[in-house]
Structure 1
Amino acid sequence: MNLLIRTTIISVIATASNANATNINQFINTRSCDQVIDKKFYKICYDYKAKGAKFVAYTLKGKNVGAVNIKKRPSFYPEKSIPSRYRTYPNDYTHNEFKADRGHLAPDAAFDWSKDSLDSVYSMANIIPQYRSINRHTWIKAERYARSIAIKLGEVTVINGVEYGSQRMKKSGIAYPKGYWKMLCNDAKGFKRCLYYKNSKTIKTKGDKLKDHVVDCSTLT
């Protein structure tokens, strides 16, 4: 076969196979984000107006899941790389009117395999307001599912997105999310699944199942 033709065919095949590939940089880049924060173990797309993350993304290795399980949790800390007027603090959530938890986007249970990785997810740039029932009973199932996929497939790319509403915390000005989504991908294994969760105090947790939150990934991009 002519070398030029062969090269062209290979190029077309490669382009086709990567057409639907999921790249963290599609979400976390200087066009979409007021500030890109590289926490070494994951990346944050930070929105100054919302005073919170738009996206948090990382690749979770199956070998790290459950490898150490550090029990002692670090303290939350402000992200000093963010300009002070857009920065959030642990006490911004104290006695807040939404009774919201400090919700992790990159969860501690996925990063408890080393002191440095665990400490990284306690940056307030990785924290968003979540109703307690969502944080403690439903969203946690999506986090657990991501870890199981990482073990099964060897690794999984996780992209977390936040949909902010018009409401804000009065004391801090932090925008309150209407919902969150989680995209799980392993392009090499042909795996892609997306989950969406409303951030509402009226959500019923009894009988909640993971399949109730599965959505078409194309609606999130």
Structure 2
Amino acid sequence: MSKPYNDKMSIARTLILVGVTIIIACCIVKACNAMMPHLAPEVPAAITDTKGLLDVKTAPGVPEQIKQYTGFKVSFNKETHLPNWVSWELTADETSGPALRKGKKFFKDYDIEGCPTHADYTGSGYTRGHMAPAADMKWSELAMTECFTMANMCPQVQSLNSGTWGKLENKCRDWAIRDSAIIIIAGPVINPPAPDEFIGNTEVAVPKQFFKVILAPYANPPRAIAFLMPQGKVVGGMQNTVVTVDSIEALTGHDFFASLPDSIENILESKSQFHKWNNAK
């Protein structure tokens, strides 16, 4: 056998061996990728730039008048006579304080066009449901007084107001203590093309649903969760009303947390797990 022939055979065997090695390596990499969860872009350890988190891009074409109160911000709709949304930050320190609810009175804010009166709800069968609750305003006497503006109210049946909605408000205070602070945005859902029930001489629209969007910007990592509750008794507890922030945006047309980088906003708004949120350390 000639040497050139041996050299050719040796080269051929080497090439075959290299090819087989490459194929095996590719198979191993592919198998590993299949077994490992796809890694999403990382959420930062905490959101350090929180400016703008209380601002909401209200749905296009929806009437709004913005007013900043001591403890919360309102986007008010002069046509429905309801807030489009109410936003506030609740810190751990603000979950308690000397301000009392007792003696506070509901009032019409004459600075807000279309703001209803206390009497519009009287005898309607609906309670004056706070969007920013009084119990979140204990830290300031003025904040407590102002949260009784009718611009902060929506008609709610008693079974919701003092039931699951009220329980969620209590949970929010627990979460604010745990996470040092949370951002809360709450409001009504008016079914298009127009509401079909009104109360009072002002003709306040009666919502069919209510939403609450919550962000824990200082948690590690930051988390978001949303709730959508019907105008009525909630069956199965608040965990059955958990939805994503994305779904609330699709339903209302509002854009929450738009000040965040899109990469972070998209991750936070697409996930919503009650047990993971509630049991976070």
Instruction: Determine if the TM-score, normalized by the shorter chain, exceeds 0.5.
Output: yes
Find the aligned partners of 1:170 and 1:199 in 2 and give their Cα distance.
18
Query: Which of the two has higher C-alpha Rg?
Result: 2
Deviation at 1:155, TM superposition (A): 0.4
Q: Does 1:133 align with 2:165?
A: no
User: What is aligned with 1:8?
Assistant: none
Which portions of structure 1, spanning 4 or more consecutive aligned residues, are displaced by more than 6 angstroms? none
More strand by share: 1
Q: Does 1:77 align with 2:107?
A: yes
Q: Does 1:94 align with 2:122?
A: yes
User: What is aligned with 1:58?
Assistant: 88
Give CA-to-partner distance per residue, 1:35-84, whole Å, 9 cap, x none.
0011121100101110110100000011121233525241111011113x
Q: Does 1:179 align with 2:205?
A: no
Aligned residues: 198
Question: Is 1:68–1:114's contact at 8 Å kept on the other side of the alignment?
Answer: yes
Any residues of structure 2 matched to 1:1-221 within 5 Å, and which?
23-27=53-57, 33-68=63-98, 70-83=100-113, 86-96=114-124, 99-164=125-190, 165-169=195-199, 171-189=201-219, 190-200=222-232, 203=233, 208-221=236-249
Find the aligned partners of 1:67 and 1:212 in 2 and give their Cα distance.
32
User: What is aligned with 1:7?
Assistant: none
Give the CA RMSD over aligned residues: 2.6
Unaligned runs of 5+ in 2: 1-41, 250-281
User: What is aligned with 1:9?
Assistant: none
Deviation at 1:210, TM superposition (A): 2.0
Unaligned runs of 5+ in 1: 1-12
Deviation at 1:23, TM superposition (A): 2.3
CA distance 1:38–1:153, change in 2 (3 Å): same
Normalising by structure 2, report the TM-score.
0.64
- Give 3-state SS (helix, strand or coil) of 2:155's partner: strand
Deviation at 1:138, TM superposition (A): 1.4
Question: Is 1:157–1:186's contact at 8 Å kept on the other side of the alignment?
Answer: yes
User: What is aligned with 1:5?
Assistant: none
Instruction: Indicate the percent of aligned positions where both proteins have the same amino acid.
Output: 20
Find the aligned partners of 2:234 and 2:69 in 1 and give their Cα distance.
34
Give CA-to-partner distance per residue, 1:105-125, whole Å, 9 cap, x none.
000011122211100100010
Moved more, 26-35 or 112-121: 26-35
Normalising by structure 1, report the TM-score.
0.81
Find the aligned partners of 1:30 and 1:220 in 2 and give their Cα distance.
15
